[in-house]
Amino acid sequence: MKEIVIIGHKAATAPFSLNDLPGAAGRMDILCRCVSSALFLSHDLRRDVRVHIILKGPPDEPKAIRFDGSSIRYLSPDERSSASLIKKALEKNVRNFWMESTPGVSIRKGDFGNILHEINKKVIYLCEGGEDIRGKRLAGTFDDTVFVLGDHLGLTGDEEKTIEEYEHEIVSIGPLSLHADHCIVLLLNELDRKEYLNRNVQSGEDDYS
Amino acid sequence: MKEIVIIGHKAATAPFSLNDLPGAAGRMDILCRCVSSALFLSHDLRRDVRVHIILKGPPDEPKAIRFDGSSIRYLSPDERSSASLIKKALEKNVRNFWMESTPGVSIRKGDFGNILHEINKKVIYLCEGGEDIRGKRLAGTFDDTVFVLGDHLGLTGDEEKTIEEYEHEIVSIGPLSLHADHCIVLLLNELDRKEYLNRNVQSGEDDYS
């Protein structure tokens, strides 16, 4: 299971209008595209990915929502579709433990620190200035790491300190600074290639290395 | 100028509701995300990219819309924003030549063949089963190529025949089949890296190769 955490510093923590995701919903559009980038293949889903989005905007922050690729239903690739599942989750009376709102989508009260503590794995923090992901070996499998990204505001100093409590690496995906959803596409392509290579290394095939 | 062409086989050719991009607007959501993937950096625009989307859905197909990174205005990264500029373009009384509908957005009557003829460059067709983009030298600069992608339906036989009228290559972006907007992210990251390498090859820096 590949775990991804994205922090939405302004993202609404109460039901919002689907017609204004960037404005009233606090750049919820970024998080929606992140969910889509993390879970969709062409005509298929990435069933081995779990995405956590941390909502830190008003009025009832912080909350965390988890999309689980292995059990997700009713999700289409468009922003409005993931936004609608987030909105449904926010309609729940949220507690300090996970509650499923729709199949494969769960919500709880909790901040970045709570979620990282719960996942409790080595952190790969995607950030400008990190070491290029292409040169990295990363883990042999990805079951023992969690990938962390910020929204348009990056991560705060406190959030970076939270990461430092864990074994961690800072990794970059290319020479330019990109949106979080685009970083996720590049990250997963890199993992796809590493997995492909691991599968084919013995057969001598290495079309994608 | 990097030129990208995406074909939307069902995409509406008359103004549509912004609240149902995947359904009534004929998977317009895919094209909207492609525009965003092609033009957005974090807090900046890719001013050297021009995206053409070919709309082949009812009621008045085919039409082509061009987003020009060097002059685009009023575009935000969310799907609804690019959809709204597409809708505005479709409100125009369209002819066989380009007419600007909003700054940096133009529309004309015309099919894939017309647009490819007008661009008249070597075609790089992004498709499963092509040669891995990472091994490719591509062009030294990207001014002499046009990148072509299909939507969720891929390209038709006729469209592939149109490509064959030009010098062309078939290139793949990884071991799994991905959405067109995700392919554009991967393509542009590859070009970013090649440009970075070209700029830094003499100084001995090659952090991103």
Per-residue pLDDT at B7: 98
- Cα B50 to Cα A51, B40, B104, B116, B157, distances in angstroms: 32, 12, 9, 13, 25
Residue A142 pLDDT class (50, 70, 90 cuts): confident
Facing residues of A40 across strands? A45
Average pLDDT over residues B103-119: 98
Range of the domain at A81: 2-200
Whether B148 is in a domain gets the answer yes
Residue B31 covered by a domain: yes
Kindly state the percentage of chain A with pLDDT values over 90. 86
Instruction: Examine the pLDDT at B140 and tell me if it is beyond 60.
Output: no
For residue A74, give the 3-state DSSP assignment: coil
Q: Residue A205 falls within a domain, yes or no? A: no
Q: Is residue A208 part of a domain?
A: no
Q: How many structural domains is chain A composed of?
A: 1
pLDDT, tens only, A75-129: 999 999 999 999 999 999 999 999 999 999 999 999 999 999 999 999 999 999 8
**pTM strictly above 0.90:** yes
Mean per-residue pLDDT over chain A, rounded: 94
Q: Does residue B205 lie within any of the structural domains?
A: no
Give the CATH number of the domain where residue B195 resides.
3.40.1280.10
Cα distance between residue A104 and residue A73, in whole Å: 6
Say if residues A133 and A173 touch (Cβ distance below 8 Å): yes
Average pLDDT rounded to a whole number, residues B62-81: 98
Q: How many CA atoms lie within 13 A of B61 on its CB side?
A: 17
The 10s digit of each residue's pLDDT in B148-183 is: 999 988 999 999 999 999 999 999 999 999 999 999
H/E element, A101: strand A99-102
- Phi/psi at B162 (nearest 5 deg)? -60, -40
Q: Residue B99: pLDDT above 70? A: yes
For CA atoms B195, B2, B175, B133, give the dihedral sign. Answer: negative
* In-domain check, residue A207: no
Q: Which residues of B touch A (CB under 8 A)?
A: 18-19, 21-22, 29-30, 33, 37, 40-44, 76-81, 132, 134, 152, 173-179, 182, 185-186, 189, 192-193, 195-196, 207-209
User: pLDDT at residue B86 above 90?
Assistant: yes
Q: Tokens for B10?
A: 């069902």
Inside any domain, residue A206: no
- Interchain contact, A79 vs B77, CB within 8 Å: no
Contact A173 B189 (CB under 8 A): yes
Helices (H) and strands (E) in chain B, counts: 5, 10
Grouping H, G, I as helix, E, B as strand and the rest as coil, residue A57 is: coil
CA of A43 to nearest chain B CA: how many angstroms apart? 8
Cβ atoms of residues B21 and B29 within 8 Å: yes
**CB-facing half-sphere around the CA of B102: CA atoms within 13 A:** 17
Query: What is the rounded radius of gyration, in angstroms, for the C-alpha atoms of chain B?
Result: 17
Give domain status of residue A151, yes or no: yes
* Mean pLDDT across B191-197: 91
Rounded distance, CA A141 to CA A198, Å?
10
